[in-house]
Structure 1
Amino acid sequence: MAQQNLASQYDQLKRAFDARPSDLKKCGSLLSQLKIRLIEAGLLLPQGQPNLQDLVVARDILEMGAIWSIRTRDIPSFERHFAQLSTFYTDYSSQLPPSSRASSILGLNLIRLLTQNRIADFHTTLEALPLPPAARASDPFISHPVNFERWLMEGSYSKVWNAREEAPAEEYRFFVDSLMGTIRNEIASCEEAAYDRLPLKDAATLLFFNTPSELLTFAKERGWQVDLSGGVIHFNGKNEEQAEVMPRHKLIAASLKYARELEMIV
């Protein structure tokens, strides 16, 4: 390695990361120090023809940093690590040996884009992957987010929920849970528009909640009225308020349009 301290801290990071469970606090401290070492060694954003073994170690450090970011629920940190890894995955891909973590991290980035509703970026990133279409379909880390995107476009939310247990890596569940939060709010908006009330059991099923307490917490956040004795959730309180305001605006707009049309005729 270019520096002895970097090699020593790299070994410490591997031990902390590979521990079961990982020592996340120690990993975070070591990653901060190692990034400084990488900058000093010219390896964080490598240029020219650096030593290939040094590049492998730098890539490994950044990959552990990306996964550590997900385990600590730090999405901005994951985005930074992924941006730094892009050089290794593109510019030096033909020179470096394959990485066992690359597919997982590429897939995590794809599902991150889905949770942020960046569908166009998802497809652009997917097409730019250094993998042929056949390899993408057979790689579980890539096919998982691809299936998610298709199910979301179809509105097959139950498939998204069921696939949570089939995640190819534990880190994927964090993004799936985040995605389910978005899906629940979409379903809740449809329920409010379509129903005055629903039985608690039916609402829990539609929203993919496993326990009544989860549903009650969600109902409180949405401002729903819960009748525990009757086992019913009422949406009409919110809808009635909207019903009082919205038609009035629509009526005024329609009247003005009608008046303008009459004036043109006259």
Structure 2
Amino acid sequence: MSSLPQLYQDLKRAFDARPTDLKKCGQLLAKLKVAVIENGLFPPRPEAKESDLIVARDILEIGAFWSIRSKDVPSFDRYFAQLQTFYTDYNAILPPSPREYPLRGLNLIRLLTQNRIADFHTTLEALPIDALHENPYIKHPVNLERWLMEGSYSKVWGAREEAPAEEYKFFVDSLIGTIRNEIASCEEAAYDSIPLKDAALLLFFTSRSDLMTFAQQRGWQISLVDEKIIFSRKGEEKAEIPKQKLILANLSYARELEQIV
């Protein structure tokens, strides 16, 4: 345990710095993960001290938040999976962590961004009922899921500013990206062209340059003279109904039926 306390203190200082020293946190976390395993704190040994288990849990929680701030979702998944041991198996032994529900809420939004709706509801069912209605970190993803199912995309957009923690905005931005692509696909199918200002409103863009970049990525034509976007419809073919052939075929069937009768 000789190096663990010092590394832990260094990690807390780097994480609490403003702005967070992400590079140093990553270096310290790599060392601390090894130290935690070597000291029998993950998986936790039955004889481990409560104070040491709290330190191990704290390190993993910082690692989960660091992952989101570093935009590393697979790393967040690994840290959160490791924390389940402390949140589930040791919840009666260790005092509650103030970071538990912020991280649980982040995990729920992650499931939404990956369209894992069944896993989202299964995870909700494992939480206390009062948390669903009273805990702001859980209410936020619950509301997001309801608005997504309703198609209330403007509410999802507004939820970004109502996020209970800064890290939540990372996943909300991912949801907005998915929503934009869905709306864009609908626009392409429904319209030949659309005014720039209407496109910005429908796609939740406040910056004209961001709209232009998005339009170029979608392969849309931009007419600055007419102030509109023209949708490309490559390979679209008009299906013509062979009316003459159908009429002749129906008359032929009718004559054959008449002869049979």
TM-score (norm 1): 0.88
Identity %: 65
Match of residue 189 from structure 1: 185
Q: Out of 234, 243, 256, which is 2:236 matched to?
A: 243
Match of residue 165 from structure 1: 161
> What secondary structure, in the 3-state scheme, does the structure 2 residue paired with 1:244 have?
coil
Whether 1:137 aligns to 2:130 is no
**1:48 Cα deviation from its structure 2 partner:** 2.7
Match of residue 98 from structure 2: 100
Unaligned 5+ segments in structure 2 are: none
The aligned length equals 247
* CA distance in 1 between partners of 2:222 and 2:43 (Å): 55
Match of residue 56 from structure 1: 54
**1:243 Cα deviation from its structure 2 partner:** 2.5
Whether 1:71 aligns to 2:69 is yes
Match of residue 33 from structure 2: 35
* CA distance in 1 between partners of 2:124 and 2:16 (Å): 29
Give the counterpart letter for 1:96 in structure 2.
L
* CA distance in 2 between partners of 1:16 and 1:184 (Å): 36
* CA distance in 2 between partners of 1:11 and 1:136 (Å): 34
* CA distance in 1 between partners of 2:228 and 2:199 (Å): 9
Match of residue 4 from structure 1: 2
**1:242 Cα deviation from its structure 2 partner:** 4.2
TM-score (norm 2): 0.90
**1:47 Cα deviation from its structure 2 partner:** 3.9
Unaligned 5+ segments in structure 1 are: none
Flag the structure with larger Rg. 2
Indicate the RMSD between aligned Cα atoms, in angstroms: 2.1
* CA distance in 2 between partners of 1:225 and 1:22 (Å): 42
* CA distance in 2 between partners of 1:198 and 1:59 (Å): 52
Q: Deviation digits for residues 73-123 of structure 1, max 9, x if unmatched?
A: 000100000011010010001110010111100000000010111111111
> What secondary structure, in the 3-state scheme, does the structure 2 residue paired with 1:243 have?
coil
Match of residue 148 from structure 1: 144
> What secondary structure, in the 3-state scheme, does the structure 2 residue paired with 1:190 have?
helix
Q: Out of 75, 78, 83, which is 1:85 matched to?
A: 83
Match of residue 116 from structure 1: 114
**1:127 Cα deviation from its structure 2 partner:** 1.0
14-23 or 142-151: which moved more?
14-23
Whether 1:223 aligns to 2:219 is yes
